[in-house]
Structure 1
């Protein structure tokens, strides 16, 4: 079976590729090394309607699906992973609001999120609740028409630039798990940043730990059914953005290695003419294609509502993120000594790629998801 993008999807891909070449690639190194948030780049994407890519047209978005999300995030991440991450995290929050929020809440926030006037962040993971989200300690107690929320969140990417955070808290007894967690859309100004993480990758979209005590949230800011937030989250497949980011890095590393192999000469010939380098480039190309196909298959399954979409996304995440690390490492080797300097982007590819193996859940957890799916397949 041949999988091909539609004409509209290819047109979208080419539009973003041109944007990356003209607006992102020239500033990526400066943004990364200065740890500067890419607001100008994201505003330019907003002008093109990309910050509302998956938001329904009724709310000012483009109404695209997971395949289009994967295509756009790959292209942006090939220029700079932080930009792909910022867009995907923002759209992930919008998707939860659109799918599970009340009519009033959707009408209130989605149009401004599509315009990027309101920027979203995710507040889910805690110090003792990483892969095991049910272990979260943040709790919300109802008082009249409000909820009083206290706790912390360990990894809130983009919180200093965001306007609202999708915050998860326990609202029911432990015995009811996983149907004891609710989600709330809260202003980020109500969250106190108590630690900025000095990460080695994703420099332009920093992550922080936040705390909050006796945070009062109106009942109408609850997103979805009370106690069902984790269950509802499992019905979405926005996680396809993670392998898409990795595909972008893997492809950028390959392109950088090819360019350098063609221009760098040793022993009176370009190093790309040595068989060892050629074989390395061929292996890198295979990794990119396999990662992209797995990612697009998972995105297509999500768009079709395929029950296997979750396992396919996990498979794509494992393969693509590890392909990105391997390609970035190989690209550094092709570059030799200069690959270990900040003069070339391959060191950034390596740092950003390694982040993706743990972001969105460590790869071994995703391997468990794939293994569970394999073991549940009935035998003939």
Structure 2
């Protein structure tokens, strides 16, 4: 059984163009994504053609400059597009967020010549990106990465292994953090590596409890020769570039979490209105209606928090703390809301005949990716006491 279409969320959008983008997104979600989401996830089917459709519709480069083929939209709008897609299928919503993250280094820190040469294709729809920071021995401690890039004339020779890479093996380019010196976090640089470069390969996808349609894999660099012109920013600037990207990426994860939570809430409400016990709909029982009320409140609070952080970003204000707060709250809320949705359905919620068990499994990963929620608390605490 597939999830019903989520009820349209009442949104305050800044322009008519933004409203049209959301309407387009909902149409694509309802017609291209949601109908086959459950079956495709069960079959671990990667929705490559869906991403091409998003690109051709102008949705793969929303926050980037129109000069390079982007949408020129504020994060306030872009994140709500992610939420709509994640509500239909998390693999698609999170995939859009990861793609945007993988373009961030070039779009923000690349030279004009680099952006003119590569960015239009990256955000135009035919290419999909991956963001390579984590390694088998360095997850939360990102500055401890070991993948090495040695300069040889006009080329970097890269060796090492990246881990937990979304789109690993299916991406068209890899924004890769590599070590160019032994000077700790100041020895990290960013290389934009095209898929198909000799020596670049991926392992079989990890066997995950959720998001099975989104490949997550180790990526291997074995004497990979990358032209020096593909260095983004300066040598040693990579760690700062990576952290700046993650601040924005965490907002994408927060929006994904709210989307999943909204989908679970909508399904639970619909079920509770139809399911009868003791001669009346279970939604009429106070104990269950209170549970639904708490779920709805968490969803609305999460949405307000990520939008507040997005508006700070759009205004050019610092937003690292707010992004960490949004990622922390929204993903914890999604875990709670999806768990409660399973409870609303009772035994049926534990079966694959209804999508809430999938929502619950998918929500868990959002508490881990792009900085665990323990790391988010560390970021917030350090900001408060700095």
Kept in 2: contact 1:54–1:95 (CA 8 A): no
> What is the deviation of 1:92?
1.3
Secondary structure in structure 1 of the residue aligned to 2:174:
strand
Residue pairs, 1:3-82, within 5 angstroms? 4-8=12-16, 9-82=18-91
Report the TM-score, using the length of structure 1 for normalisation. Answer: 0.94
Shift of 1:170: 0.7
1:176-214 Cα deviation digits (max 9, x unpaired): x32210010112223222342101111111100122222
- Secondary structure of the 1:148 match is strand
Does residue 268 of structure 1 match 2:267? no
Give the 3-state SS of the residue equivalent to 2:262 in structure 1. Answer: helix
Q: Helix, strand or coil for the counterpart of 1:178?
A: helix
How do residues 33-182 of structure 1 correspond to structure 2 at under 5 angstroms?
33-174=42-183, 177-182=184-189
Deviates more, 1:293-302 or 1:46-55: 46-55
CA distance in structure 1 between the aligned counterparts of 2:241 and 2:334, rounded to whole angstroms: 30
Q: Which region of structure 1 is more displaced relative to structure 2, 285-294 or 106-115?
A: 106-115
In structure 2, distance between residues paired with 1:189 and 1:157: 17
The answer to which of 98-107 and 335-344 deviates more is 98-107
Secondary structure of the residue aligned to 2:203 is strand
Choose the corresponding residue for 2:355, options 342, 345, 357: 345
Alignment match, 2:3? none
* Equivalent in the alignment of 2:371: 361
Structure 1, 96-105 or 345-354: larger mean CA deviation: 96-105
Distance 2:77 2:271 in 1: 31
Matched residues, number: 371
Within the candidate set 247, 251, 270, 2:262 is matched to 251
Matches within 5 A, 1:201-240: 201-236=210-245, 237-239=247-249, 240=251
The C-alpha deviation readout for 1:83-109, integer Å capped at 9, x for no partner, is 011111111112211111222321222
Whether contact under 8 Å (2:174, 2:192) holds in the other structure is yes
Q: Distance in 2 between matches of 1:159 and 1:108?
A: 24
Query: Is residue 249–residue 353 contact of structure 1 (8 Å, CA) maintained in 2?
Result: yes
User: Is this contact kept in 2: 1:202–1:352, CA < 8 A?
Assistant: yes
Structure 2 vs 1, CA of residues 253 and 375 (structure 1 numbering), >3 Å: closer, same or farther?
Answer: same
Q: Which runs of 4+ in 1 moved over 3 A?
A: 7-11
Give the Å deviation of 1:355.
0.4
1:43-91 C-alpha deviation (Å, 9 max, x unpaired): 2212211012122111111111221221111110011111011111111
Tell me, yes or no, if the aligned pair for 1:195 and 1:210 is still in contact at 8 Å: no
Q: Does the aligned pair in 2 maintain the 1:109–1:118 contact within 8 Å?
A: no
Cross-structure match for 1:189: 196
Q: Distance in 2 between matches of 1:41 and 1:212?
A: 29
1:325 matches 2:347: no
Deviation, structure 1 residue 230: 1.0
C-alpha contact (below 8 Å) 1:24/1:79 kept by paired residues: yes
Please name the residue that 1:280 is paired with. 291
Q: Unpaired runs of 5+ in structure 2?
A: 1-10
Q: Is the 8 A contact 2:58 2:125 kept in 1?
A: no
Contact 1:55/1:110, CA 8 A, preserved across alignment: no
Provide, for residues 298-339 of structure 1, a one-character-per-residue CA deviation record: whole Å limited to 9, x for no partner: 1111111212x0110100111100110111111111111111
Is the CA contact 2:168–2:217 (under 8 Å) kept in the aligned structure 1?
A: yes
Aligned-pair CA distance for 1:358: 0.3
What is the CA–CA distance in structure 2 between the aligned matches of 1:189 and 1:316, rounded to whole Å?
Answer: 36
Give the secondary structure class of the aligned counterpart of 1:179: helix
Quote the Cα distance in structure 2 between the aligned partners of 1:68 and 1:224: 28
Deviates more, 1:230-239 or 1:285-294: 230-239
1:159·1:188 contact (CA, 8 Å) conserved in 2?
no
